[in-house]
Amino acid sequence: MKTTTLWRPTGPEELDLVRDSDWRAWPPRLPDQPIFYPVLNEDYAIKIARDWNVPRSGVGYVTRFEVRSDFLERYPVQQVGGQTVLELWVPAEELPEFNANIVGQIEVVHEFRP
């Protein structure tokens, strides 16, 4: 089975919920969060965690995880800025199916503090 590596910048509240899932699933979106957006490169995830999550929450994390590549084909890559600012937009209602296609565990690869 072929997998694709994705990253997700996150704050402490979301990370606590991932931990509660035994590092295997992302929590449901809040009502004002219609999409779940994992990113396609580590540098972009680092920038968001460091420059957005730290000022907002006091800490920012970058997570890495694997998802079945064939499942991800349904989500076109979204370029939301420069050439390497790439995301997948997963509708909130599809997040349970997305989580079911995660292979292995979600892992924290970076932590940033002020």
pLDDT in tens, the chain (114 residues): 999 999 999 999 999 999 999 999 999 999 999 999 999 999 999 999 999 999 999 999 999 999 999 999 999 999 988 888 999 999 999 999 999 999 999 999 999 999
- Separation between Cα atoms, residue 72 and residue 89, nearest integer Å: 10
- Separation between Cα atoms, residue 24 and residue 3, nearest integer Å: 15
- Separation between Cα atoms, residue 81 and residue 78, nearest integer Å: 9
Q: Are 57 and 113 in contact (CB under 8 A)?
A: no
